[in-house]
Structure 1
Amino acid sequence: MEGFNQREAGKRNGKPIKTCREDTPLLGNNSTPLSCQSKTFANLFIAIVGAGVLGLPYTFKKAGWFTSTVTIFSIAGLVYHGMMLLVHTRRRLQERLPPPGSTNERTDHVFSFGDLGFAACGNIGRASVDTVIVISQSAFCIGYLIFIGNTLAHLFYSTASLSVVATDLFVSRKIFGIRPKTVYIWACFPFQLGLNSIPTLTHLAPLSIFADIVQFGSMGMVLVQDAVIINHEAHSVKAFGSVSTFFYGMGVAIYTFEGIGMVLPLEDEMKDKPKFPKLLCVSMFSIAFVYAAFGLLSYLAFGENTQDIITSNMGKGLLSTLVQLGLCINLFFTFPLMMNPVYEVFESRFFNGGYCMWMRWLVVLVISLVALYVPYFTDFLSLVGSSACCVLGLVFPALFHYIVFKDEMSQRGAIMDLAVIAVGIIFGISGTWYSLKEIFAV
């Protein structure tokens, strides 16, 4: 998934036990680095591959298949570089800690992105990371509600054909004078209040594994359907788009690779740490290949009829309906897991770390209200990717790396860090602008 959080703090036999941070790996709860390469590889896939992949075919339609393919692999390289900057920065900060047994021994350890921000920039660094994490995690959940509302509206309250644009799908019919999407989002609201009121979400973690199984299953179903359609019918497709669609596609691509918050804990728990960079590289570009194949084949299959949620192109058969319902169910239960980092930030900063149910309910209400007014799933992915995810994946890693290494790095290294920061800022501002234009143009 894009992220996972569960914090359990306490003491055992008078000694502090390890705290599970906002980005504790979903698989593997050992407090010592015992993960083998295969387990770490699986964890990386779970951390990175999420619901955003379902918006890639629509991105190929808008930006062109060649531009989108190049963008996906380029973003994979940039995000991989950002992930490795975090790993190198954490390793150097750990080297600077007093050795075990010394009189000045410290017990702190850089477990998470926020810890690294604090170690590099103090309270400002942690506050900046926490702020962007709150924005990104909340945005992920807004995207979930948009997906659920639009998908259920398509399944149960639309008679439009696949050649009709998404706008007609979701406004052509109403339930008691209310848009179907609105009805379904509000129907989720009371249940989400209950789920998000649970202080400890450990027993919901298996549902995230189920979410990934359904995710890969649905992708497989779409690819099989794509192959059948391509074999029988050819659609005209475009290779290139405009400047605005390039930045649009860039935002979606960064969103789909947003697993950077998981990198530090995954590297921390791996048994053979020197092999982590190579394993991470193989994972990132394997996922990039899957993304490119998924987006390209789906675009070739449906051409200009490709919808912003590709599962909407699957028609109304029983198997298609089950796949789409499964995706809605797993995103519904993933919602409280993804929101837990937000609650931890608010409760630690404003409620002395104590549980606050009314705050959680208020946050769920705000997220539901925002989801009501964003019409397109993929448009919102692009906005989130261009803003919050761009900062987390490019700007912060290069900035923290530069701050920690500035007194010892070469001029070339400093230029590379500053260049990544500049690229991240340019991509972020441009992508956010063009994404907002797409959203408000509907």
Structure 2
Amino acid sequence: MGFEKEASSSSHVLAPLPREDTPLLSKSRPLSSQSKTFANVFIAIVGSGVLGLPYTFKKTGWLMGLLTLFTVAFLTYHCMMLLVYTRRKLESHLGFTKITSFGDLGFTVCGPIGRLSVDVMIILSQAGFCVSYLIFIANTLAYIFNYSTTNLDPRIWGFTPKSVYIWGCFPFQLGLNSVPTLTHLAPLSIFADIVDIGAMGVVMVEDIMIFLKEMPVLQAFGGFSMFFYGLGVAVYAFEGIGMVLPLESETKEKEKFGKVLGLSMTFISLMYGGFGALGYFAFGEQTKDIITTNFGQGVVSILVQMGLCVNLFFTVPLMMNPVYEVVERRFCHSRYCLWLRWAMVLGVSLVALLVPNFADFVSLVGSSVCIILGFVLPALFHLMVFKEEISWRGMVLDGTIVVLGVVFGVSGTWSSLMEIFAPKGVY
């Protein structure tokens, strides 16, 4: 099952109406240069998960943390390119119509079941990330501007600071999420990248100064039981698998996309590794779950948190793009729909407003959906499409990724569910 192969142009007088197998992008769009593609890849992957890396290194040990991080980065890049190779094979060699998203690829390989599975997981993961971004932004702004040791329940015009900041972001997010193409978001992506790199650079410099002064006791390996913890955090940190095919579709020089993606992943990996290791080196066993809280409410902490808020604010529309592609295809015949996008922004904002503690839900999504999307499905689709020409080594590699992904996904999902349903407040 899959997309129908293209017929000759003379056999059609009128353009057919969009169907389930209609590609998402029917009109030509402006294409991105290599620098714009690099910026969009960077901002699509880098998110709030980076703040937890120093704490993760404390639990896993700095050497195990680095090894785990770089291994996940390599496998993530490998699986991203598997999606690209699979799409190129289906389009160029087998003659299928244009495949522009993960969902299109799922339909081409596995039919409606494949598309539905990918669509549901993309909506859950991408929208879930955006909800966590809005919660982080609102809570961070409330901590910076409304924190008080005497008033434990501050109010702004009778409302909680979190609700005020979420609704304050709402009209601006409506405007940003109205942009129809990723290429037009590239300038904002570049600006957000600069702010993010600057904020993280300040933290790393501060970490080095504190390390040279304090020289805390460090451990290289934290025990095998901590490996799975570090693995889960690393997988969550390298989010963005749903953006690969849309980004490659809008790249001007597609033959260089793999190189650009590889450079982006290498840069992000080194940045992640440096940020996580230096944070742990600076504070040792005193490293907190969010590294900025180790700096208290000083100037450095405020600048870093504001920088991350700016980065995540401009990341929301980029991360919502795959969600829009899914809902517009299913409800608007793949046509751009402003009111539907605004409805999705409203829905994400309401969830961010109503969910008091999103950590358990993010853990569940990261342990289940992210592993399936990031590793299992790319390797499975690649294996199904290339099964007649792939070498036995390639077949073993794809099969190993699928099996390990399922095992880690099931165990991670079970652990997350046990945490969610575990009795709270019982000592």
- The alpha-carbon deviation at position 401 of structure 1 amounts to 0.8
Q: 2:165 aligns with which of 169, 188, 193?
A: 188
In percent, how many aligned pairs have the same letter? 54
Q: 1:50 aligns with which of 34, 47, 51?
A: 47
Q: In 2, are the aligned partners of 1:145 and 1:185 still within 8 Å (CA)?
A: no
Indicate whether 1:361 and 2:350 are aligned: no
- The alpha-carbon deviation at position 258 of structure 1 amounts to 1.8
Counterpart in the other structure of 2:412? 431
Indicate whether 1:200 and 2:189 are aligned: no
Q: 2:288 aligns with which of 281, 284, 307?
A: 307
CA deviations 1:303-351 (Å, max 9, x no partner) are 2222222222233233432332232244245434533533443354346
Which deviates more, 260-269 or 217-226?
260-269
SS in 1 for 2:178: coil
SS in 2 for 1:413: helix
Q: In 1, are the aligned partners of 2:135 and 2:353 still within 8 Å (CA)?
A: no
Counterpart in the other structure of 2:357? 373
CA deviations 1:158-180 (Å, max 9, x no partner) are 578xxxxxxxxxxx9621599xx
Q: 1:413 aligns with which of 394, 400, 406?
A: 394
Q: In 1, are the aligned partners of 2:139 and 2:162 still within 8 Å (CA)?
A: no
The letter for the 2-side match of 1:73 is: F
Which deviates more, 257-266 or 418-427?
257-266
Counterpart in the other structure of 1:175? 153
Q: In 1, are the aligned partners of 2:86 and 2:381 still within 8 Å (CA)?
A: yes
CA deviations 1:168-194 (Å, max 9, x no partner) are xxxx9621599xxx9333123433543
Tell me the matched-pair count: 393
- The alpha-carbon deviation at position 394 of structure 1 amounts to 0.2
Counterpart in the other structure of 2:228? 247
TM-score after normalising by structure 1: 0.77
The structure-2 alpha-carbon separation of the partners of 1:208 and 1:43, relative to structure 1 and needing over 3 Å to count, comes to closer
- 1:16-415 maps to which residues of 2 (within 5 A)? 30-31=30-31, 35-36=33-34, 40-98=37-95, 108-156=97-145, 158=147, 174-175=152-153, 183-195=160-172, 197-198=174-175, 200-201=178-179, 206-270=187-251, 273-350=254-331, 354=337, 355-356=339-340, 360-370=345-355, 372-374=356-358, 382-415=363-396
SS in 2 for 1:312: helix
Which deviates more, 268-277 or 206-215?
268-277
Q: Distance in 1 between matches of 2:323 and 2:386?
A: 30
Which deviates more, 390-399 or 346-355?
346-355
Long gaps (5+) in structure 2:
1-13, 17-21
The structure-2 alpha-carbon separation of the partners of 1:177 and 1:158, relative to structure 1 and needing over 3 Å to count, comes to closer
The structure-2 alpha-carbon separation of the partners of 1:190 and 1:175, relative to structure 1 and needing over 3 Å to count, comes to same
Long gaps (5+) in structure 1:
1-13, 23-28, 99-105, 161-171
CA deviations 1:270-327 (Å, max 9, x no partner) are 5655554444334323322221111011011112222222222233233432332232
Which deviates more, 38-47 or 285-294?
38-47
Q: In 2, are the aligned partners of 1:235 and 1:303 still within 8 Å (CA)?
A: yes
CA deviations 1:190-228 (Å, max 9, x no partner) are 335434555723577644433222211110010010011
Q: Distance in 2 between matches of 1:283 and 1:334?
A: 16
Counterpart in the other structure of 2:11? none
- The alpha-carbon deviation at position 150 of structure 1 amounts to 3.9
TM-score after normalising by structure 2: 0.79
Q: In 2, are the aligned partners of 1:250 and 1:382 still within 8 Å (CA)?
A: no
Q: In 2, are the aligned partners of 1:50 and 1:215 still within 8 Å (CA)?
A: no
The structure-2 alpha-carbon separation of the partners of 1:82 and 1:191, relative to structure 1 and needing over 3 Å to count, comes to same
Q: In 2, are the aligned partners of 1:248 and 1:434 still within 8 Å (CA)?
A: no
Superposed CA RMSD in Å reads 3.5
SS in 2 for 1:140: helix
- The alpha-carbon deviation at position 404 of structure 1 amounts to 1.1
The letter for the 2-side match of 1:366 is: V
The letter for the 1-side match of 2:153 is: I
Q: Distance in 1 between matches of 2:366 and 2:80?
A: 16
Q: Distance in 1 between matches of 2:15 and 2:169?
A: 37
Q: Distance in 2 between matches of 1:306 and 1:159?
A: 23
